[in-house]
Structure 1
Amino acid sequence: MKKYIIKRLLTAIPVLLMISIGAFIMMNLAPGDPTDLYVSPDATPIQIEATRRALGLDQPYPVQYVRWLGRALQGDLGINYSTRYPVLPILISRVGPTIVLMGATLLVSYIVAIPLGILSARKHGTWVDNLLTGGSFVGVSIPNFFLGLGLIYIFSVQLGWFPTGGMSQLGGESGFFSVIHHLILPVIVLSAFYIANMTRYMRATMIQVYGENYIRTATAKGLASEVILTRHGIRNALIPVITIIGTDLPRLVGGAIVTEQIFQWPGLGRLTIMAIQQREYPMLMAITMLSAVVVLFANLFVDIMYAVVDPRIKYN
């Protein structure tokens, strides 16, 4: 297993390199120039060129990329154009809120979805199964922005139960309970899709497992349904579920962009929108590389969990 993990980590190096090249090319091919946002409309060509030189955009693209790569390998991800602050501290300050939001969403989603999927499979063909299946289709279909704005209007504007956005009360205490209070609505919005999606996958997997011969044999031996479920059913059903979890981890980073913007959550999603609007290429490169690392480690985590759940899987 150790050799396999080391090999996968070494393989990730050229993959990250190719991702960085592709991201750099696409950002620089996008229409517009960052200097347009930092010079006046009546600026002279000399002033525009001085601004480009100050931002490091006066060199050819290959030279800019090599300089960025050299600095990135030393832990320097560049300078934010608008604030002239280093990118890395800004990125680190936004990772924490996103991890809080993502962690709470994953926890709520899987705690709710896995039991619902099992219940739907055990009640296959009944009104309970139909109700859960119908609810899953609604959860998958409803857009994040629509659900978020609807919850804000009902529970924040009309009822006043929850704040409309932010991570803490402006001018008030930012303690644990304040963060939880601000976290409830964004977590509901984000987890709605993942609960619905995971419930459907768990239901389909459990129905397939219940049809296997070893389940019939265990039932014929007179084992209790709870024993069959815990010892034989769930563990064998977790293999495809782990795959879905692995795809959800990086997808949450992208899905949080809309939700963080709606609820003004100070995380990576909101930072990404701001970086796009202000053409902050160094910040966008840093966010892209962070997302790529999350995807690679999520895939590695899935492969490791396969071997943990199923002892028959061996990595040589």
Structure 2
Amino acid sequence: MKKYIIKRLLTAIPVLLMISVGAFIMMNLAPGSPTDLYVSPDATPVQIEATRRALGLDQPYHIQYFRWLGRALQGDLGINYSTRYPVLPILISRIGPTITLMGTTLVFSYLIAIPLGIISARKNGTWVDNLLTGGSFVGVSIPNFFLGLGLIYIFSVQLRWFPTGGMSELGGSGGFLSAIHHLVLPVIVLSAFYIANMTRYMRATMIQVYGENYIRTATAKGLASEVILTRHGIRNALIPVITIIGTDLPRLVGGAIVTEQIFQWPGLGRLTIMAIQQREYPMLMAITVLSAVVVLFANLLVDIMYAVVDPRIKYN
């Protein structure tokens, strides 16, 4: 296992380089330039060129990339164009809120979705199964922005139970209870999709497991249904579910762009929108590389979890 992990980590290095090159090319091929936001419409060519030089955009693209790569290897991800602040501290300050929001959402979603999927599979074909399956399709189909705006109108504007957005009250001291109060609506909006998606996968996997021969054998031996479920059913059903969890883990850093924008949550998703609008190339490069690192780490973690859940899986 150790050799496999080391090999995967070494393989990730050229993958990250290719991702950074692709991101750099796409950003520079996009219409417009960062200088458009920092010069007046009647600026002279001399002023435009001076602005490009100040932002480090006067060099050829390959030189700009290798300069960025050299600084990134030393821990310098560049300077934010609009504020002239280093990118790394800004990025670090936004990771915490995003992990708080997405981590709470994923844990809450799995704690609800996995039992619902098991119940739906055990009640296959009944009204309970039909109700849960129909609710899952609704949860997958409803757009985040529509659900978010609806919840804000009902619970924030009309009932005034929850704040309309942000992570803490203006002028308040914050604290754990305040953070929970601000988390409720965004977590509900995000969980609607994750609960629905995981319920569907858990149901389909459990139905397949219940049809296996070893489940029939355990039933024929007279084992209790709870024992069959815990010892034989859930563990074998977790292998496909782990794959879904692996695709959800990168969202811990990538965040939910639409939901964070609706609720004004100060995370990476909202920062991404601001960076795109202001053409903050260093910030976008940093977010892209960070997301790629998390995706690669999630894939490695999923492979390790496969071996933990299923002893038949060996990595040589």
CA contact (8 A) 1:23 1:285 kept: yes
Deviations 1:173-217 (A, max 9, x none): 210010010001111111110100000000000000001110011
Count of residue pairs brought into register by the alignment: 316
CA contact (8 A) 1:167 1:179 kept: yes
Identity of aligned residues (%): 92
Match of 1:127 in 2: 127
* Aligned-pair CA distance for 1:255: 5.7
- Distance of 2:3 and 2:191 partners within structure 1: 36
- Distance of 1:312 and 1:75 partners within structure 2: 41
Q: Matched residue of 1:202: which SS?
A: helix
- Distance of 1:252 and 1:193 partners within structure 2: 15
* Aligned-pair CA distance for 1:83: 0.2
- Distance of 1:102 and 1:173 partners within structure 2: 23
* Aligned-pair CA distance for 1:41: 1.6
CA contact (8 A) 1:145 1:259 kept: yes
* Unmatched tracts of structure 1, length 5 or more: none
Deviations 1:9-68 (A, max 9, x none): 000000000000000000000000100101112211111111100100000000000000
- Distance of 2:22 and 2:57 partners within structure 1: 18
- Distance of 2:148 and 2:253 partners within structure 1: 17
* Aligned-pair CA distance for 1:249: 1.5
Closer/same/farther in 2, CA of residues 96 and 308 from structure 1, 3 Å limit: same
Match of 1:103 in 2: 103
* Unmatched tracts of structure 2, length 5 or more: none
The alignment's TM-score, normalised by the length of structure 1, stands at 0.99
* Aligned-pair CA distance for 1:251: 4.2
| Between 299-308 and 254-263, the greater mean CA deviation after superposition | 254-263
- Distance of 1:274 and 1:158 partners within structure 2: 30
CA contact (8 A) 2:98 2:252 kept: no
- Distance of 1:267 and 1:200 partners within structure 2: 29
- Distance of 2:252 and 2:301 partners within structure 1: 16
* Aligned-pair CA distance for 1:253: 4.7
Deviations 1:134-155 (A, max 9, x none): 0000000001111110110010
- Distance of 1:309 and 1:186 partners within structure 2: 32
What's the C-alpha RMSD, in Å, of the aligned pairs? Answer: 0.8
The answer as to 2:121 corresponding to 1:116 is: no
* Aligned-pair CA distance for 1:298: 0.6
- Distance of 2:315 and 2:206 partners within structure 1: 26
* Aligned-pair CA distance for 1:96: 0.4
CA contact (8 A) 2:104 2:187 kept: yes
CA contact (8 A) 2:102 2:251 kept: no
CA contact (8 A) 1:190 1:255 kept: no
* Aligned-pair CA distance for 1:252: 5.5
Closer/same/farther in 2, CA of residues 39 and 59 from structure 1, 3 Å limit: same
CA contact (8 A) 2:255 2:267 kept: no
| Between 44-53 and 13-22, the greater mean CA deviation after superposition | 44-53
The alignment's TM-score, normalised by the length of structure 2, stands at 0.99
- Distance of 2:253 and 2:121 partners within structure 1: 30
